[in-house]
Structure formats: structure tokens, C-alpha cells
Amino acid sequence: MYRLLKKDGNARRGEFETVHGTVQTPGFMNVATCAAIKGGLSAFDLEDINCQVMLCNTYHLHVRTGDKLIKEMGGLHRFTGWTHPILTDSGGFQVFSLAKLRAIKEEGVTFNCHIDGRRIFMGPEESMRIQSNLGSTVAMAFDECVENPAKYDYAKMSCERTTRWLIRCKEEHDRLNALCDAVNPHQLLFGINQGCTYDDLRIKHMEEIAKLDLDGYAIGGLAVGEPAEDMYRIISAVEPYAPADKIRYLMGVGTPGNIIESVRRGVDLFDCVMPSRNARHGHLFTWDGVININNAKYETDLRPIDGKCDCPVCRKFSRAYIRHLVKAKEVLALRLCVMHNLYFYNSLMTKIREAIDNGTYDEFYSENVLKLDARASD
């Protein structure tokens, strides 16, 4: 479970103990939607880039290859070869963002599969059963993701339904963990705070779900198009009402600057597709800012992507070679760029933890919060 080690302002340094190992926080989860990092990285590569947690998606694994088959294979850990913590997203976001046709009822959601169009029903119990079959370290509760901006009355009704769904998730999760054939009988459960960009709804919802004494709490429904200032305002409003002895997870965030700002407001855990997605387009993070390796000025640049980085890519290859691979559309380009960006994010979290440990987080914040999101000068 979560143990708070130190605070520097509102920034929290902690440890999150699970059956699959201890996560040092603040931490970043590397997104492997279909049990693999897009860009050709395996579980063994994740070891080399200092990944602590792999995040997989319930919806995608349910529709292809199927959670029942993965259970037969011994669960996600045996299936992928990854021995450290795995968090599975509930599928709620994908249900509400990918499905073109859907019908939301109290029981759950009926929608069309984005692959073959077949009708699928998913509710709290179904999401818990799928995640139990996957045997992840942490399961996420099934929630309704509401678009921003949303009308207040609908956002309020949605929060109330998400609370009722969370109670059903907890009951089913407890039942599944007690089964003799559970892949992971020690699976943990996180609840998700919703409420769009309305402070009062967010606060009331966090107060309600905190009563359920879950293993952790996430802030969902942000980083979906609202201004960053609204996101930061919501985090600051909700943080005092989140249980201090439980881990706090901000879903789907974000840029290095977003992470640095959110840690300052008391967030412990993050995930985002940005480092891998941007890498696949040649946009690479460095300690001096972002570079676009497609630019002609890197054609004869023999320096590593980042002279301050000791990732496997920066130790062995030049910007010129990486650019050549990108321009030639070689598969290796995707692999090397994704490896570098994920290593950068994991290293960012290490430096954040060190700054909190040393009581210098304000200095780290001032030096990096703007620079790391900006375009590098060279």
C-alpha cells in the first residue's frame, strides 16, 4: 500500500507496495495499450529504460485477443514476460471515446466495437471480471467519462452514477479476488474522481468516494481539451479532500511541464501516450527542450539526441543516424525514438523524486517547468 516518506510543499515522495513490487513515487506508467509499447518495445526493453509500471487497456485486450484467453495463458504478467506492476485502465474512456453508437443506462453501456462493429455491453461488473481475468496489479473502476465542457446538470448526474458504479465495482472486485481461480487474488482497486471542470462537483465526488476506503484514487476526465489552467485549478481544489494515506493518480497527463506542475499540487502517479506518440513523429524530449529530428539541421549532427541523457539510444547513436532512419521510414526509427522518450520520462520522475528528497523541488520546478515543454534552441 502507499507510504508517504516526505513532503516538500505539497509535492509528495512515497512508496506504493504491491504484490508485484514497490513503486517509487512520483512515478510515470509506460503505456502499453495492447500489452506492448507502440514502437516495438517489449517488456524486456522496459527493464532497460527504468520503467516501474506498465499500463494496459481493458477494452482493447477484451476485444482483441480476449481476456479469457489471457487468463488461460496465466494472466498479463506471464503473457508479456513483465514481472513488475501492471495497471489496467477500466475501458471506460475508450467506451466513451471510441464507440460511435452507445447507449448509457444504469446497468452500463452498450456500444459498437471499433474493430468489427459488433454490439458489446460493459458495466461495472463486466469491467471488473475482465480485469480479474487479466490479473493486473491494479484495476481501475468503471466510470463515465464526460466531455469538457459539459452542462452542470449532466455532469452532476454523471458523478452520481459513477459513484453508484464504483460501489458495484468494489463489491464485484472483492468477490472476484476471493475466488479460488483468481489470477491475482491480491489485485488492488482504484476509484476515479469525476466532475468535469466544476470545483464543487469534484470536491463532493472525492468526499463520497473517499468513504469507500479504496487502495488508491485517480483524477479522471481532465487533459481532454480544457485549458491547462483549468486542470491545475481542479487538482488544487480536489487535493485537500483526497485521502492523504492513499496514492493519487492523474489520468492521461501529460507533458513534462504538466507533470512538474501536478506533482507540485500533490499528485503521485501519471500516465500518457505522449512520449511514445510524439516519438513516432520524430519529436524528442531533451533536458534543453523538445527537438524535431526531421529538421534538416540534424542531417550531419553527430551528437546524441541529448548529451545529458544516458539512455541506450543516446549512448550509441547520433542525431544524424536517427534522422536518417526516420526519413527512410525504417521501423528501427520508431523503436529508438520511443525508447529515448520513455527513458526521458522515467528519468524525469527520478529527478523529481530526488528533488523532493533533497528539499529542492521549488528550484527544480523553476528551472524545468517551462523549459522542458519548449522547443530546444539547437
User: Distance between CA atoms of 49 and 28, rounded to whole angstroms?
Assistant: 12
Provide the annotated active-site residues.
89, 271
Nearest-angstrom CA–CA distance, 109 and 103: 6
Say what the alpha-carbon torsion angle 64, 254, 158, 215 is, to the nearest 10 degrees: 80
Contacts from 280-285 at CB under 8 Å and sequence distance 24+? 280/38, 280/39, 280/334, 280/337, 280/338, 282/323, 282/326, 282/333, 282/337, 284/337, 284/340, 284/341, 284/344, 285/256, 285/340, 285/341, 285/344, 285/345, 285/372
Do residues 85 and 61 touch, judged by C-beta distance below 8 A? Answer: no
